[in-house]
Every structure is written in structure tokens, then in C-alpha cells.
């Protein structure tokens, strides 16, 4: 088992994965060491009780490295520390969007390193993430088991065989929490405009979104089945759906998500 885990980058996604894993028990707090060049973020990790590395050299002693830096910073991070990474040969777990496994290895001199690329989402912080991961040919069963355990402990996870699928997954579940948050915000705003308190409106919108998702995830119905169940002929739901259809709601959402997927594909670079 992996007993020492290094996390490089304690931003929103990196911290969400770390905190979710610790909350669920998949990661022991004393087994993780964090590095972030932003001192404020490092301080946040320290306040939570995590060990913070004083330098990158210290964190490279880890058996597994979770890379959670900005895409623009990853090439230099790997190139500048190539010899140390290749020497220690840790399992590299990348949650960096837009940089493929083969490109990561090119920055490391094409060494035969174990790399798993993950697309999680922000809900890892509350153990409700939807994650997907791709493992290269050098990864072993124990590596996969560790990542599956970590990701499953903070939500649901799937393993994919083609890295190309991560672009679509990025547009659906990686960016997805923002889409549903936008819908909840709209519902909340309308409720407040119609006289409800903000606190009441937020609970109504959020729990309604949660309930709909739970019904679909339970396997009892598809999204279309759920629409039919709620939309009685001549009722309020049917009227709302009529307006959405007239305004091109489905087309707008479809085009928006497709744009996110295409953006992910363009981000993939050597």
C-alpha cells in the first residue's frame, strides 16, 4: 500500500480531493505532505493539520504524487525536477486538465513512469464527486486499486480505456457542477423575487436538484421518465417546459457543453 502521498498544489481541486479522501478515511492525514508555492494556501493546509513541505525536494520522496497545479505550470514543474522524479519513480496522479499522459512523459524524458490521469470534480470536498481516470501501460494493479479507493471514497468513479474520452467527461462532469449551480441560482433568484427568503429559496432549489439526481441514480427512472412523471398534462411543469422549449433551452445547453468539450480538446498540448 502507498503510505506516503505528496500533493503539489493546494488549490480548489487539490484540496477538495485531499480533504474528501481524509474525511472518508481513504487517506490518513499523517500520510500526506503538501506543497504549494502560494504561502496562503500552504497556511490553509497547515491549519487543517496537514504537513507542509518546505521545498519540492522534500515532497519528491513520496511514493505517489498528486499533481494539482495549473496547466501552464506543469511542464516546467516536470522538466525542472526530471532527474528527481525519474530517480524516485513515484506513481504520478495528475488532475491537471489539458495535458495528456504522453505529453507529461515527454517532459520527463519519456521515462517509463506510472501515470494515472484523473478528471474529478469539485464535489470531492463533500464526498459526492464524479471522477474518471485513465491509466497508462506502466501502471500496476496496486496503483489502480489505490486510485479507485481514493476516488470512490469521495464519490463515484469510472475507469476509461481511451484517454480521448476525458475531454467529453471534462465537459460533462468536470464542468458540470457549475451548470447545475447556475440552474439552482436561477431558481433561487426567482423564488426571492416572488417573496421567499433567500435561505428558504436556497434549500428549495438545492434539495430539488439533489432529489432529482437521486431518483435517476437509484435506477428507478431515466431523466426523460422523470420529466414525464412530473409534467402532468395542462399543469405548471408542462407550462414551464413549454417556455424553455420555445426559448431553445435544450439547444443552448447542448451547444454550451459541446463548447466546453471542444475547449478541453484544444487545451491538450505537447
Locate all alpha helices (DSSP H) within the chain, ordered by sequence. 12-24, 39-47, 56-59, 74-80, 82-88, 101-107, 141-153, 165-169, 176-193, 198-217, 223-230, 236-246, 249-267
pLDDT tens-digit readout, 168-222:
999 999 999 999 999 999 999 999 999 999 999 999 999 999 999 999 999 889 9
Task: Report the run of H or E that residue 134 belongs to, with start and end.
Answer: strand 129-135
- Is the domain spanning 176-267 CATH 1.10.3730.10? The answer is yes
Dihedrals φ, ψ of 180, to 5°?
Answer: -70, -35
Which pLDDT value is given to residue 231?
Answer: 97
Residue 75 burial by CB count (10 A; 0-12/13-18/19+): exposed, middle or buried?
Answer: middle
In percent, the amount of the chain with pLDDT more than 70 equals 99
Q: Using the predicted structure, report yes or no on whether residue 270 has a pLDDT greater than 80.
A: no
Q: Does residue 104 carry a pLDDT above 90?
A: yes
* Interaxial angle between packed helices 249-267 and 236-246, expressed in degrees from 0 to 180 and rounded to the nearest 10: 60
Q: What pLDDT score was predicted for residue 57?
A: 87
* Confidence at residue 175, expressed as pLDDT on a 0 to 100 scale: 94
Q: What is the pLDDT of residue 1?
A: 67
The whole-number pLDDT of residue 52 equals: 95
Whether residue 268 is predicted with pLDDT greater than 80 in this model: the reply is no
Q: What is the pLDDT of residue 253?
A: 97
Q: Which residues pair with 92 in a beta bridge?
A: 65, 115
Instruction: Give pLDDT tens digits for 34-67.
Output: 999 999 999 999 999 999 998 888 999 899 999 9
Q: Domain map of the chain by residue range?
A: 5-163, 176-267
8 A C-beta contact, residue 139 and residue 114: yes
What tens digit of pLDDT does each residue of 111-126 get? 999 999 999 998 988 8
Who contacts 54 (Cβ-Cβ below 8 Å, separation ≥6)? none
What's the whole-number average pLDDT of the chain? Answer: 93
- The CATH code belonging to domain 5-163 is 3.40.50.720
Is pLDDT above 90 for 19? no
Specify whether the CB–CB gap between 2 and 146 falls below 8 A.
yes
Amino acid at each position: 500500500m502507498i503510505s506516503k502521498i505528496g500533493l503539489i498544489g493546494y488549490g480548489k481541486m487539490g484540496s477538495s480531493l485531499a480533504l474528501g479522501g481524509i474525511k472518508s478515511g481513504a487517506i490518513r492525514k499523517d500520510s500526506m505532505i503538501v506543497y504549494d508555492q502560494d504561502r496562503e494556501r500552504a497556511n490553509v493546509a497547515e491549519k487543517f493539520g496537514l504537513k507542509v513541505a518546505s521545498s519540492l525536494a522534500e515532497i519528491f520522496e513520496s511514493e505517489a504524487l498528486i499533481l494539482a497545479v495549473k496547466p501552464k505550470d506543469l511542464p516546467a514543474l516536470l522538466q525542472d525536477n526530471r532527474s528527481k522524479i525519474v530517480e524516485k519513480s513515484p506513481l504520478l496522479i495528475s488532475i491537471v486538465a489539458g495535458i495528456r499522459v504522453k505529453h507529461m512523459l515527454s517532459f520527463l524524458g519519456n521515462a517509463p513512469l506510472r501515470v494515472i490521469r484523473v478528471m474529478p470534480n469539485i464535489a470531492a470536498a463533500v464526498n459526492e464527486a464524479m471522477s474518471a481516470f485513465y491509466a497508462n501501460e506502466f501502471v500496476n494493479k496496486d496503483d489502480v486499486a489505490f486510485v479507485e479507493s481514493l476516488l470512490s471514497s469521495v464519490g463515484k468513479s469510472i475507469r476509461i480505456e481511451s484517454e480521448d474520452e476525458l475531454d467529453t467527461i471534462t465537459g460533462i462532469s468536470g464542468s458540470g457542477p457549475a451548470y447545475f449551480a447556475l440552474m439552482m441560482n436561477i431558481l433561487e433568484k426567482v423564488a426571492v423575487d416572488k417573496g421567499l427568503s433567500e435561505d428558504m429559496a436556497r434549500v428549495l432549489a438545492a434539495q430539488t436538484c439533489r432529489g432529482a439526481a437521486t431518483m435517476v441514480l437509484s435506477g428507478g427512472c431515466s431523466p426523460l421518465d422523470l420529466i414525464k412523471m412530473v409534467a402532468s398534462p395542462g399543469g405548471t411543469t408542462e407550462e414551464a417546459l413549454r417556455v424553455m422549449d420555445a426559448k431553445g433551452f435544450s439547444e443552448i445547453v447542448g451547444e454550451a457543453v459541446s463548447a466546453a468539450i471542444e475547449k478541453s480538446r484544444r487545451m491538450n498540448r505537447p
